Amino acid sequence: MKLLLRLKSLFQKDHLDDQLSDELAFHLEQQEAELIEKGFTPQQAKLEARRLFGPIASTREECRDKRKTQYLEDLSADTCFTLRSLRKSPTFSLIAILTLALGIGANTAFFSTAYGILFKPLPYPQPRQLVTLDEGMTGVGPVTTLRTLSTTTEYVGYVSSLDLNLFESGEASKLRASRTTFNLAQVLQTNPQLGRWFKQENERPGLHRVAVLSDQLWRTRFNANPNIVGRTITLNERPYEVLGVMPPSFAFPTPQTELWLPIPIDPRNVGEIWGNGNFLPIGRLKPNHTLATAQSEIRPLLDKVRSSFPWRMPDLYGANATVVRHDAALIKQVQPKLLVLAGATFLLLLIACGNVGNLLLARGIHRQREFSLRAALGASNARLLRQLLTENLILVILGGTAGLAIALLLFEALPMVFPKDTPRLEELLSDPTLPLGAAASLAVTILLFTTVPLLGGLSLKPSRHASKFSLTLIGIELALATTLLIGAALMGHTLWQLANQDSGIPATNVTTARIATGPSRCPNPDSCQALLNDLTQTLIQDPAIRSINWTNAAPFDPSFASVASAIEDHPKLPSDPAFVLWQTAATPGYFNTLGIRILAGRAFNDTDQAKSQLVTIISESTARRFWPNQNPIGKRVRPVYDPNWRTIIGVASDASLYSITGYPSWIDGVQYLPLTQSRFLSERNLQLSILLETTNNNWPSQLKQRYPDIVISNIATLGALRDSSIQSQRSTATLLTLFAVLGLILGIAGVHGVIAHRAAQRTKEMGIRMALGARPAQLVRMVLAETFIASTLGTSAVIVAAWLLSRYLKSLVFGITIHDPLAFTLSPAILILAATIAASIPAIRATRTDPALTLRQD
Amino acid sequence: MSKPNDLLQGTLDLLILKTISLEPVHGWAIAKRIQQSSGDVLLVQQGSLYPALHRLEQQGWIDSETKPTESGRVAKFYSLTKAGKKQLAIELNQWDRLSSAVSLVVRPA
């Protein structure tokens, strides 16, 4: 209420002033009239009335003061004054505002990203009740048994990604689907926006040909047809009934999932149900249950599940299972990267603030005269400080506004920085929580710009203290820049290691693609083989194609199968976990095309057919591990579920097919099979990768011409696959380098500014010293000593902090330790060197001035 | 005219609020009425009357309105707001306590 009155007073200032004059005039008139009645002449009455009233001007002033609008009026005066003085020194204003904008912009963008991906609640009701298993059991059998037995948690199972061919209006395309148990929608508490979700009966084979579409698929492929429910669509040549359409926000298991199908559970299909581990659990805690109660239940429960396997499972399988929150598990992978980037932009913001702070200090010293004058005219200290704070705030507001624009630009670029499968990325892009990030960044900046001037005693008084203060600021800035530089150096070194990592696959110019067909093309292994031969024949006509090979998966794809295996000479107890071999099926020319050498024995050839002896090739390190100092040729291996042994016929040079950084520790060895003898030719929906040495790119149309229903996807060269497999490290390294360079530039600019300023202040002192016989070199050294001490103190203090902080980079670095000596010595060295150079320019300039001139000043 | 007694600190507000509690009054009339009602004992300094009026207005206790006087000249009339009526009651109560307390001290029964 009072504020409202005050605001009213502020806006009606002129009107109120008129009213006041009028009111006082009326009073005087009345007084005069009374006096005239008492016998005064009009002239005398006028004078007497004035005398009786007293000083009118000060009464008027006092009345005005009562309106309490002084602060607001001062504020608007200060604002006008600040804007005018900013316009008068455009270089200063531009540098200060841009620096702040950079810091605030970067920080806003990455704070919002970190919040949106790491901390924002998942878009399901009560998302904290959703749990998953870490080191648990997977597979349809184990998960549905858990679903039946658990009393604390309602478990759901899902296949995270499954490629299907959709044949719609004469065109074949690949869809990314997920098969789930019927209760997924119920557990995630999300209902279809159209139609309904599956029922339990849809898990029965025969009733399972129903599908629920994603909003995206419904809009792009079916024109958002409102009558889609009940329609039949063709998936892998089979008719499926559309049951419903999910809302756009539903992005489980991934934002790319386009279709959900029920999992058909046929208890007679024991191998598929218990042997295929590609079926993951997620669950919702039942009412009145917590993570702790779910945890206390899970291990005994998994013991029961282990004993219900149709074959003996290792005792350790699932023995260390823990129930974890789903949201935490989801972001585990991206968390370090996001925290590192958000942290880096925060440091950048601090450096930017430090720099602008120093600019302000320097300007404050120049304005000493202005402040002294105003103080002499009666301005109180508080009043002057208030003006300075207003000025700072205006700078922050201008910088913040420009910063928001930068943040929006950065946000547009986010998809380039994060891989497409980053959890929650799409959700973030469609609903950026920018205001939150902006508020956080602005709060930090405003806090710094209001407390630091107070701490620094902001140059209202003698500048000796302020000058020391700016040296300290410089030290802190350089320390922060060092941290950034160390981070960038660690990631840069990692990237260098990755780029030069020998994957054992020298070929880069080989084109790969995923080829998929439906069951009618490939009803049995013989017809599959015939189809492959025919595809090969079709392409071989093209003179631009030098070689054609087939494999189950292109290199650097970690999503492909590994097989629990028995290995000759290395028996295992049934209670122990089996060896796991990485399995690649390939045609004979595979090794040659990829540049993998055969070190012993032979490669596959055309005599290796489905009915001939089962053979395999193992990698060099697998041979060394299992048969050191022995000839592995002739030894045998087999999958645990298959009684037929495969004979080793050759040893191939090591190749990192899993990812260029090698294989994970749970893989014990690498084996190759002839494609003719692999299970990949007996799958109903043929899905293989083609490897082509070709100089033209129109081969897909040649294949399409002959087989219109074939789906060709993921066309890329091996070089591109290799590059994209290190995309995450590359983008982190690039961003950190960018931030570090910005930090370095800001830091160095800060050093230059402060030293130049200090040198300018000390010209008189230097003049005296020179007149007394000091040599220029001594003076330069004197000025440089300060910078050197500030930068060395700053950088060395921070090495300890960086040493501790670098563990957050642990999951991102490769080929170096997180305490990489190179990064930890080079970065501080670069900074101290750069700072010293930056300081030496003004230092040398200062000694060039004529002592006689400087002494004569003032 | 004898020198008027200085107004007791803080009593000016009470006098103003009481004076305008019956009907809207302009500044000159407020001063006159206080002087007349007190039998010419209390003489309000013009220099403090107007700042006081503006302060009370800013506090939301009194409201102002410009309208013509009997003579036809336009003047600023003050009246009590709702909050002002409450404040008057509070100040009257305080005044009673103060005056009886002072009486107890200077004229013990």
pLDDT tens-place string over residues A695-723: 888 899 888 888 888 889 889 999 998 88
Residues of chain A that touch chain B, judged by Cβ-Cβ distance less than 8 Å: 1-2, 5-6, 9, 19-20, 22-24, 26-27, 29-31, 52-55, 58-59, 62-68
CB burial string A814-849: b at 16+ within 10 A, e below: bebebebeebbeebbebbbebbbebbbebbbebbee
pLDDT more than 90, % of chain A:
28
Answer with the one of A301, A331, A361 that is the final residue of a domain: A331
The number of distinct structural domains making up chain A is: 4
Q: Which of A313, A331, A349 is the last residue of a domain?
A: A331
The tokens describing A471, both together, are 């040296």
Q: Name the residue facing A19 among B28, B46, B76 (closest C-beta).
A: B76
Alpha helix ranges (H) inside B59-81: none
Tell if the CB–CB gap between A24 and B60 is shorter than 8 Å: no
Same domain, A572 and A694: yes
Residue A133, pLDDT > 50, answer: yes
- Judge: B58–A6 Cβ closer than 8 Å, yes or no: yes
Q: Tell me if residue A170 falls in helix, strand or coil.
A: coil
Tens digit of pLDDT for each residue in A595-608? Answer: 999 999 999 999 99
Tell me, yes or no, whether A79 lies in a domain: no
Contact B46 A1 (CB under 8 A): no
Give the pLDDT confidence of A270-308 residue by residue, as tens digits: 878 887 778 999 999 999 999 999 999 999 999 999 888
Q: Are residues A482 and A559 in the same domain?
A: no
In chain B, how long is the greatest CA-to-CA distance?
Answer: 54
Averaged pLDDT for residues A736-740: 88
Q: What residues in B contact A5, CB-CB < 8 Å?
A: 58, 60
What's the rounded Cα separation, in Å, for the pair A671 and A74? 80
Cross-chain Cβ contact A2/B60 below 8 Å: yes
Same structural domain for residues A301 and A357? Answer: no
Instruction: Give A570's DSSP letter.
Output: B
Which whole-number Å values give the CA distances from A501 to A349, A496, A498, A720, A819, in the listed order?
35, 8, 5, 15, 20
Identity of the residue in A6, A30, A55 whose CB atom sits nearest the CB atom of B28? A30
Chain B CA closest to residue A6: B58
Of all residues in chain A, the one with the smallest CA distance to B73 is: A26
Query: Is A359 inside any structural domain?
Result: yes
CA distance B64 to A20: 12
* Residue A24 with chain B: CB contacts under 8 Å: 50
- Chain-chain contact of B76 with A58 (C-beta, under 8 angstroms): no
Position A89 scores a pLDDT of 81
For residue A458, pLDDT over 70 is answered with no
In chain B, where are the structural domains located?
11-102
User: Is the pTM value of this prediction over 0.90?
Assistant: no
Q: For residue A285, how many C-alpha atoms fall within 13 Å in the half-sphere facing its CB?
A: 21
Same domain as A16, residue A34: yes
**B75 interface with A at CB cutoff 8 Å:** yes
- How many other C-beta atoms can be found within 10 angstroms of the C-beta atom of residue A248? 15
Q: Are residues A468 and A540 in the same domain?
A: no
| CB pair distance less than 8 Å for A1 and B66 | no
**Contacts by residues A193-199 (CB-CB < 8 Å, ≥ 24 positions apart):** A193/A244, A193/A245, A193/A246, A193/A247, A194/A218, A194/A226, A194/A228, A194/A229, A194/A244, A194/A245, A195/A228, A195/A229, A195/A230, A195/A242, A195/A243, A195/A244, A195/A245, A196/A243, A196/A244, A197/A243, A197/A244, A198/A243, A198/A260, A198/A262
Has residue A790 been placed in a domain? yes
Q: How confident is the model at residue A456 (pLDDT cuts 50, 70, 90)?
A: low
Range of the domain at A162: 127-331
Are residues A837 and A688 both part of a single domain?
Answer: no
Asked which of A331, A346, A363 is the last residue of a domain, the reply is A331
Task: Tell me the CA distances in angstroms from A374 to A87, A377, A385, A390, A392, one per residue in order.
Answer: 21, 5, 12, 16, 19
- Is the confidence at residue A179, as pLDDT, over 80? yes
For residues A381 and A424, membership in a common domain is answered with: yes
**Residue written as token pair 């930056």:** A838
Asked if B75 lies within 8 A of A23 by C-beta distance, the reply is yes
Q: Pairing between strand A238-245 and A322-325?
A: unpaired
**Any idea which residue has 């889609």 for tokens?**
A228
Same domain assignment for residues A732 and A621: no
Confidence class for position A68, pLDDT limits 50, 70, 90: low
Q: Is A5 within 8 Å of B58 when comparing Cβ atoms?
A: yes
Q: pLDDT per residue over B28-64, tens digit each?
A: 888 888 888 888 888 887 778 888 888 888 888 888 8
Decide if A710 contacts A704 (C-beta within 8 A): yes
To the nearest whole Å, the CA of B60 is away from the closest chain A CA by: 7
Quote the pLDDT of residue A7.
Answer: 66
What's the pLDDT score for residue B5?
Answer: 44
The matching CATH number, chosen from 1.10.760.10, 2.60.40.10, 3.40.710.10, 1.10.10.10, for B11-102 is 1.10.10.10
Write out residues 15-54 of B within 8 Å (CB-CB) of A.
26-28, 45-47, 50-51, 53-54
Same-domain status, A344 and A432: yes
Give B58-102 pLDDT, tens digit per residue.
888 888 888 888 878 888 889 888 888 998 998 899 888 988 888
CB contact B61 to A (< 8 Å): no
Is A250 inside any structural domain?
A: yes
- Tell whether A259 is covered by a domain: yes
